[in-house]
Amino acid sequence: MAANVLNSHRAVQMSVFVVRAFIKMRGVLTDTRDLAHKLAALEKDLKGRLNVHEAAIVTILQRVMDILDPPPASPLRKPRRIGFRA
């Protein structure tokens, strides 16, 4: 705008500088948005993988706990005596 009002070489330089600054800012914002989308996709992918690995780890830990602390065995009955009882 200054170049339109002021008719000097310096005003034209400043006007071009301001336009270039806005173009650069727009490019940075676009790059930032792209980067944010890529990071969101990467996070989603990693969470999916972690869920699979987490389920596998939980299964392994459950099996280890079963080995270390087995479930109680059913009570043993006395064997029946074979033969005649009076």
Q: Residue 77: CA atoms inside 13 Å, Cβ hemisphere, count?
A: 3
Residue 10, domain member (yes or no): yes
Place 2 in a pLDDT band, splitting at 50, 70 and 90: low
Q: Supply the range of the domain harboring residue 46.
A: 2-68
pLDDT value, residue 39:
82
What number is the average pLDDT over the span 57-73?
79
Residue 41, domain member (yes or no): yes
pLDDT value, residue 79:
74
pLDDT value, residue 71:
65
Residue 82, domain member (yes or no): no
Least confident piece of the model among 43-47, 48-52, 71-75, 81-85: 71-75
Residue 74, domain member (yes or no): no
Whether the per-residue pLDDT at 3 is higher than 70: the answer is no
Residue 51, domain member (yes or no): yes
Residue 24, domain member (yes or no): yes
pLDDT value, residue 54:
82
Tally of structural domains, the chain = 1
